[in-house]
Amino acid sequence: MTTDPLLARARLVWETLAATPVSFAPSGGVTVVTSPASQLCPPAWSGLVVLGDAAIATTPTDSAARLLRGALSSVPLDSPPALPMTEVLGPATLAYVSAAGFRPAAGPAEALPADDPAVHRLIASVSQEDADESALDEITSPAFVVREGPDVIAAAGYRAWPAETAHVCVLTATPHRGRGLARRAASAAVTHALTANLLPQWRARPLASRRVATALGFRELGTQLSFRLEG
């Protein structure tokens, strides 16, 4: 049984999202369950979340669950299962921070409504891939922004997730990256989440995004992988 409070709280998030009774095994390894309503992955997909030395996986059907159990029994947790997949998302790194571990960034950030036109202009200014990765258009918190003149050049916020979790989203305008602006905006969003006693979660694939999270004190605890099986 884990004695790491941050890891335990992170696991509770994904156990809740599985939408069926399932737990990360105290002895490690992976637990696979059938859950058509799972939020570990898109509808009708399979999802695998590794946190620490244990993992949970959900599939939409019992037959897919049997296939996945067999595939995962012979590979390490951090290796993709050897199955015929038609689509794959991830793996994305999952990182979390506690109030004690948080390292706030220097510099102010202005709070705006999430639907402020200046925030939408920032989202529209980047590639669709960057906009999708940031998910800034899905935040339920205020948007915390950094301006240059009248323009918002970086913004962050979070979407409220189950189990009192704040899923952090951050985006910087392409010409202004590498200046520490993402860290500054995200710091304000994380401060807001921690003040509300929420667990900040940072999910990312790009190394640059992961570095921002690490600078703020986030600990990488695991990964998330989603995939659609053939048939």
Tens-digit pLDDT profile for residues 14-49: 999 999 999 999 888 899 999 999 999 999 999 999
- pTM for the whole thing? 0.94
- SS3 category, 164: coil
CA-only gyration radius of the chain, Å: 18
Runs of H (alpha helix) within 39-180: 62-72, 117-125, 128-134
* Residue 82: count of CB within 10 angstroms of its CB: 11
Q: Can you read off the two tokens belonging to residue 131?
A: 């906009």
The side-by-side arrangement of strands in the sheet containing 199-204 is 29-34, 54-59, 46-51, 219-229, 85-96, 199-204, 165-172, 151-161, 143-148, 110-112
Shared domain check, 209 and 119: yes
Confidence bin at 231 (pLDDT 50/70/90) = low
Q: Within a domain: residue 98?
A: no
How far the first Cα of the chain sits from its last, in Å, is 37
Note whether 82 and 130 are same-domain residues: no
Range of the domain at 177: 110-215
Residue 180 maps to which CATH number?
3.40.630.30
pLDDT digit string, tens, across residues 133-181: 999 999 999 999 999 999 999 999 999 999 999 999 999 999 999 999 9
> Do residue 79 and residue 124 come from a single domain?
no
Give a yes or no: residue 99 inside a domain: no
Asked if residue 190 belongs to a domain, the reply is yes
Same domain membership, residue 72 and residue 119 = no
Q: Is the bond leading into 91 cis (omega within 30 degrees of zero)?
A: yes
